[in-house]
């Protein structure tokens, strides 16, 4: 199953909106002439419309898989989607036992794959390395279980936690290795979101430019902007590239239709959203993104947008790049302003914390656990 999980990760830049799935087919000792475990086939799912991991693994088998065990990181599908059901292929191949790490919440599967296999005489065991499998597929599972995209808050900060100087300068806090790393993080998610403040100050391109060596296949990331008053300039780098790489702008519903038209003419998708306290309704936005099959969203700032996501407890994971530099100054923003918590007991803590050195900088990444 660990090998199957490693394989599933190979689809991470291309597989969405489908889940990451890896599969390994093993001849068990009791069923093999030499009495040892032998991997006879393996595979992973690369992209929607291409064969699922189980079929890739079955097709790769070096010998007849009849009587062998199939390890898969997610319950096999039993419905006709973009490809035919994997359960039928498993049965036809004569697989004796299926070990699935976790069930699939997708409404057309949701336990039916396991039931169908059992009804047809295949032994099915569920739950091996389930935590790891759920972690690996957290974007997909969150979208289908909660109905919202998985939100990752990303920020580059100084050692004293500042996002920029008091005059708004933030280029560059971190070094080249950290900035290169951000591009693979961007390539892994479905969409990147910033506030219009960042667009006006930094004029970012927000495309993912990962190093070619680390990706198998890749699909462009959607660039999203919260722009309540329609302030984005038609000459911004985002709008100038909107016809080549998707841009989606959210405006307050009080903005004039002519502003909407100006932005749409540049090639961006534009949606109106309601406002409360002059802030766009984040839940409404997340629901629209989820409906558009966006499973994962990287929130890149600036401080006001970061703070809103945190205050509304809408952040699932953080990725903070910390640079060994001091900025100082009370007015210089951090990524968590607002009221904050009043006691340490209330402070949300990270779990599954991963620390990584990137040249002079450190990335701290982890899942955010909110106190209820």
Pick 7 or 155: Cβ nearer ligand NAP: 155
Among 152, 158, 156, residue whose Cα is nearest residue 185: 152
* Positions 107 through 166 that interact with ligand NAP (CB under 6 A): 155-156, 163-164
* Positions 310 through 349 that interact with ligand NAP (CB under 6 A): 333
What residues does 194 pair with on adjacent strands?
Answer: 225
In whole angstroms, the minimum distance from the beta carbon of 172 to ligand NAP comes to 9
Judged by CB under 6 A, the stretch of 9-17, 66-74, 98-106, 272-280 that binds ligand NAP is 272-280
In whole angstroms, the minimum distance from the beta carbon of 188 to ligand NAP comes to 18
C-alpha dist (Å) from residue 23 to 83, 99, 158, 269, 334: 17, 10, 42, 38, 43
Count of CB atoms situated within 10 Å of the CB of 284: 15
Count of CB atoms situated within 10 Å of the CB of 23: 31
In whole angstroms, the minimum distance from the beta carbon of 204 to ligand NAP comes to 8
Pick 31 or 273: Cβ nearer ligand NAP: 273
Q: Where are the beta strands (DSSP E) in 138-255?
A: 150-158, 191-195, 222-226, 247-252
Does 361 sit near ligand NAP (CB under 6 A)? no
Does 289 sit near ligand NAP (CB under 6 A)? no
Binding-site member from 9, 115, 183, 279 for ligand NAP (CB under 6 A): 279
Write the DSSP assignment of 43-105 as a string of letters: EE--STTSPPHHHHHHHT-SS--TT-EEEESSPPP-S-SSS--HHHHHHHTT--EEEESS---
Judged by CB under 6 A, the stretch of 88-96, 113-121, 189-197, 349-357 that binds ligand NAP is 189-197
In whole angstroms, the minimum distance from the beta carbon of 273 to ligand NAP comes to 8
- Active-site residue, from 28, 42, 54, 346: 54
Does 286 sit near ligand NAP (CB under 6 A)? no
In whole angstroms, the minimum distance from the beta carbon of 75 to ligand NAP comes to 37
Binding mask 192-231 for ligand NAP (x = CB under 6 A): --xxxxx--xx-----------------------x-x---
Binding-site member from 161, 168, 359, 366 for ligand NAP (CB under 6 A): 168
Contact of 353 with 362, CB cutoff 8 Å: no
In whole angstroms, the minimum distance from the beta carbon of 240 to ligand NAP comes to 19
Which tokens in the block code for residue 56?
Answer: 């890739």
The b/e string for 200-239 (b: 16+ C-beta within 10 A; e otherwise) is: ebbebebbbebeeeebeebeebbbbbbbbebebeeebebb
Active site residue 54: yes
Pick 3 or 279: Cβ nearer ligand NAP: 279
Parallel, antiparallel, or unpaired: how do β-strands 150-158 and 317-323 relate? parallel
In eight-state DSSP terms, residue 368 is E
Say which residues have a Cβ less than 8 Å from residue 259's Cβ, sequence separation at least 6.
230, 251
Q: Which residues belong to the active site?
A: 54
Query: Residues interacting with ligand NAP, by CB under 6 A?
Result: 155-156, 163-164, 168, 170, 173, 194-198, 201-202, 226, 228, 278-280, 282, 300-305, 308, 333
């Amino acid at each position: 199953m660990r090998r199957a999980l490693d394989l599933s990760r190979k689809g991470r830049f291309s597989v969405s909106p489908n889940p990451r799935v890896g599969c390994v087919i093993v001849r068990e000792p009791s069923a093999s002439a030499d009495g040892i475990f032998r991997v006879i086939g393996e595979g992973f799912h690369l992209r929607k419309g291409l064969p699922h991991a189980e079929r890739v693994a079955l097709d790769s088998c070096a010998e007849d898989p009849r009587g062998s065990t199939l390890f898969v990181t997610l319950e096999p599908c039993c419905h006709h989607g973009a490809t035919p059901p994997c359960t039928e292929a498993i049965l036809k191949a004569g697989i004796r036992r299926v070990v699935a790490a976790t069930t699939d919440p997708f409404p057309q599967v949701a336990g039916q794959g396991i039931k169908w296999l059992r009804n047809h005489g295949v032994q099915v065991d569920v739950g091996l390395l389930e935590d790891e499998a759920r972690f690996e597929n957290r974007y997909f599972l969150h979208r289908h279980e909660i109905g919202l995209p998985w939100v990752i808050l990303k920020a580059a900060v100084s050692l004293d936690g500042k996002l920029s100087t008091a005059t708004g300068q933030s280029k560059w806090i971190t070094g080249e290795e950290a900035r290169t790393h951000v591009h693979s993080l961007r390539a892994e998610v479905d969409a990147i979101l910033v506030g219009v403040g960042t667009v006006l100050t930094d004029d970012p391109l927000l495309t993912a430019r990962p190093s070619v060596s680390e990706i198998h296949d890749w699909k462009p990331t959607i660039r999203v902007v919260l722009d309540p008053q329609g302030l984005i300039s038609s000459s911004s780098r985002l709008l100038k590239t909107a016809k080549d790489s998707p841009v989606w702008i959210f405006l307050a519903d009080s903005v004039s239709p002519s502003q909407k038209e100006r932005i749409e003419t540049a090639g961006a998708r534009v949606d109106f959203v309601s406002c409360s306290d002059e802030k766009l309704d984040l839940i409404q936005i997340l629901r629209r993104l989820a409906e558009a099959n966006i499973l994962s969203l990287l929130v890149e700032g600036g401080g006001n947008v970061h703070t809103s996501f945190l205050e509304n407890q809408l952040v699932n994971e953080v990725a903070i790049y910390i640079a060994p530099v001091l900025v100082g100054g009370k007015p210089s923003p951090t990524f968590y302003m607002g009221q904050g918590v009043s006691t340490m007991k209330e402070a949300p803590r990270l779990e599954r914390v991963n620390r990584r050195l990137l040249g002079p900088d450190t990335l701290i990444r982890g899942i955010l656990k909110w106190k209820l």
